[in-house]
Structure 1
């Protein structure tokens, strides 16, 4: 019996150690009705995309003493292709914002204890985990370490591009 429990513990430990980035992030199917939309703008990383951001109630509950959003915070980004003219140039409104076109991707960030261990050294980003889904909720096979690498330099804003906007939304609650 002791041998069986030792084997089971070893199997559980090896399973947890082999978790890949994004494996434990589920598609939040209710994000449009149960999350708060807090920002829509031109996507800074891609010149031909527009993004709309949502956050769950846990993320809006406030920050911890260190300024981090609590574990269980989930941020959803709807990523849209930008409209283009016949020559392939991105169209913008009179306000200078890209005009959204095709709904292309749902990117999800979830702050989960231990998520940093799933990423290469230096890309743990304070336990933010990443996943990508098609608009219908099917998982996209994507290199999530690239997502972590893009967010890694933003240590001062807890690895979030929109940190100040989240704080503003929290203050309004």
Structure 2
């Protein structure tokens, strides 16, 4: 059975096999989690993004690169839907988590850390973003033995706890 832990902190500092990056479609770095991962991981991540994703990555899809200077081995990049720009198809948000777990499984990652995808600057309503995150990660079949759901603020952590508890009680 997969172990899911809630963590309040900096995803770039976690010692896991893979960290998930909430990337933009261009795959050239950006703000929020994406910018933090690129800054902490150094230029090797961007170089690998350019090489592996010359045309970017589609919304809802995922792919991997080196983790550069991060304590993780890989970065799994996924492009969440931009709710604020009108991308409101929830299946794309769910796909981000599912596809990231598929990539982690192919890589043989035993541990992976997820940020809340699309719940920041992309404006997805946080309660629904957390529901998509927790439900998808908890119900996905194969994949990593340990998943960390990383909250960068208290509001996200406050929403994650009861959702995870409800899933565990099912």
Q: TM-score, normalised by structure 2?
A: 0.31
Q: As a proportion of its length, which structure holds more strand?
A: 1
Q: As a proportion of its length, which structure holds more helix?
A: 2
* Structure possessing the higher radius of gyration over alpha carbons: 1
Q: TM-score, normalised by structure 1?
A: 0.31
